[in-house]
């Protein structure tokens, strides 16, 4: 009996269509439908008219798709008091996310390089202490931060938000780079140092050229985090630097007048589009970022 089963792996052979495999595939497809349904509902609702929304239901196909709700969501929907659509806030988010991602990633790269290859006495303790920044609930630092930004004249400005995101993003980027750079063979770095390359020379010639994958992971992780952030945006964004997530929330939770579900859904997709595009284009790095972020320390 043992001899018979040795040829099988733990898994059934992929080609055999047994009852078990039919069940497995059915379950997997049902799961896929569960995850896709809200996306379908968002998309189809966003191209329906309000009348069609009332007469049809969640899953009914849009009969005469129209982009009107999208136009309104982008340029004329009311998010709280102002009625310029999501566009200004979308640009706010871009102006905030791009510098914040770049700065926090660069700092993280240098930090990771030091912590992986230029250890000094106490650097492990510093690393652990730094990692606490990944775990604290941000509510515990918000009040002093609001005060400080106010005093520095950076409250309710995009530079203020960039600053906050950089400060609380460094812990993650440092972690990513450090964990990646420890896998770079120490001999490589040692050889460069014996050849007389100093700290930055070694970074530029040895470490940096090997870093593309981890830079991608970090860019994507940070971009997703910062773009999707709501707490910092709502507390420090004021009325001028509000990111798109805050505007979307205001739009969806506006209680005056008729709720325009088609506009809400179009707005939700607009707010989600940048990270969705990143996910579609660089899903591999996205997953690596998620898993690297999950296995902390």
Partner 1 sequence: MSDHTLPYTAAAVGSPSHTPKQQGRIAAIADAWLPRLVLSPTIILSLVFVYGFIAVTAWLSLTNSRMLPNYEISGFNQYVELFALDRWWVAAANLGIFGGLFILFCLAIGLVMAILLDQKIRAEGALRAIYLYPMALSFIVTGAAWKWILNPGLGLEKMMHDWGFANFHFDWLVNSDFSIYTVVIAGVWQSSGFVMALFLAGLRGIDDSIIKAAMVDGASLPTIYRRIVIPALRPVFFSVLLVLAHIAIKSFDLVMALTAGGPGTSSDLPAIFMYQFSFSRGQLGLGAASAMMMLATVLAVLVPMMYLETKGARNGR
Considering only residues 70 to 99 of the shown chain, the ones binding partner 1 according to CB under 8 A are none
Nearer to partner 1, 43 or 98 (CB): 43
33 vs 70, 90, 165, 268, 272, CA distance in Å?
A: 25, 30, 35, 20, 20
Q: Which stretch binds partner 1 (CB under 8 A): 62-70, 73-81, 111-119, 211-219?
A: 111-119
**Spatial distance between the Cα atoms of 102 and 169, rounded to a whole number of angstroms:** 11
Q: What does the block give as tokens for 222?
A: 């940070």
Size of the site for partner 1 (CB under 8 A): 105
Note whether 30 binds partner 1 by CB under 8 A: no
Q: In this complex, which beta carbon is closest to partner 1, that of residue 136 or of residue 210? A: 136
- Which are the contacts of 215, defined by CB distance < 8 A and separation ≥ 6? 105, 109
Cα Dmax for the chain = 78
* Part of the chain binding partner 1 (CB under 8 A), chosen from 94-102, 109-117, 182-190, 210-218: 109-117
Determine the Cα–Cα distance for residues 55 and 35; give it in Å rounded to an integer: 25
Q: Which of residues 158-217 bind partner 1 (CB under 8 A)?
A: 167-168, 170-171, 174, 193, 195-201
CB of residue 278 to partner 1, shortest distance in Å: 7
The rounded Cα 224 to chain-centroid distance in angstroms is 1
98 vs 142, beta carbon nearer partner 1: 142
CA atoms within 13 A on the CB side of 166: 16
- State the minimum distance, in angstroms, from the CB of residue 120 to partner 1: 6
Of residues 17, 22, 58, 63, which one binds partner 1 by CB under 8 A? Answer: 58
Given CA atoms 182, 187, 188, 190 in this order, what sign does their dihedral have? positive
Tell which positions 117-156 bind partner 1, by CB under 8 A.
118, 120, 123, 126, 129-130, 132-133, 135-145, 147
Q: Give least dist CB 82 to partner 1, A.
A: 18
Give helix 283-294 / helix 158-181 axis angle, nearest 10°: 80
| Binders in 258-297 for partner 1, by CB under 8 A | 261, 264-265, 267-269, 271-272, 275-276, 278-279, 283, 286-287, 290-291, 293-296
- 79 pairs with which residues across the strands? 82
């Amino acid at each position: 009996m043992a001899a018979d089963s040795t040829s099988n792996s733990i898994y059934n052979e992929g080609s055999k269509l047994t009852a078990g495999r039919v069940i497995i595939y059915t379950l997997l497809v049902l799961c896929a439908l569960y995850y896709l349904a809200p996306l379908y509902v968002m998309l189809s609702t966003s191209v329906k008219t309000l009348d069609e929304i009332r007469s049809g239901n969640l899953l009914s196909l849009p009969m005469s798709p129209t982009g009107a709700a999208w136009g309104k969501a982008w340029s004329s929907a009311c998010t709280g008091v102002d009625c310029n659509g999501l566009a200004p806030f979308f640009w706010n988010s871009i102006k905030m996310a791009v510098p914040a991602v770049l700065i926090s990633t660069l700092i993280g790269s240098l930090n990771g390089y030091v912590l992986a290859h230029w250890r000094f006495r106490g650097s492990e303790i510093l690393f652990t202490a730094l990692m606490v920044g990944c775990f604290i609930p941000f509510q515990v630092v918000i009040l002093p931060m609001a005060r400080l930004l106010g005093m520095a004249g950076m409250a309710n400005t995009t530079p203020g938000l960039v600053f906050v995101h950089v400060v609380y993003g460094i812990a993650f980027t440092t972690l990513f780079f450090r964990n990646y750079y420890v896998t770079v063979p120490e001999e490589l770095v040692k050889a460069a140092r014996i050849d007389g390359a100093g700290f930055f020379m070694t970074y530029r010639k040895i470490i940096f050229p090997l870093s593309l994958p981890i830079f991608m992971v970090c860019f994507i992780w940070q971009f997703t985090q910062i773009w999707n952030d709501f707490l910092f945006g709502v507390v420090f964004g004021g009325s001028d630097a509000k990111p798109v997530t805050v505007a979307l929330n205001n739009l969806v939770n506006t209680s005056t007048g008729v709720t325009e579900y088609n506009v809400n859904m179009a707005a939700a997709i607009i707010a989600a589009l940048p990270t969705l595009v990143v996910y579609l284009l660089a899903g591999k790095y996205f997953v690596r970022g998620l898993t690297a972020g999950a296995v902390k320390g």
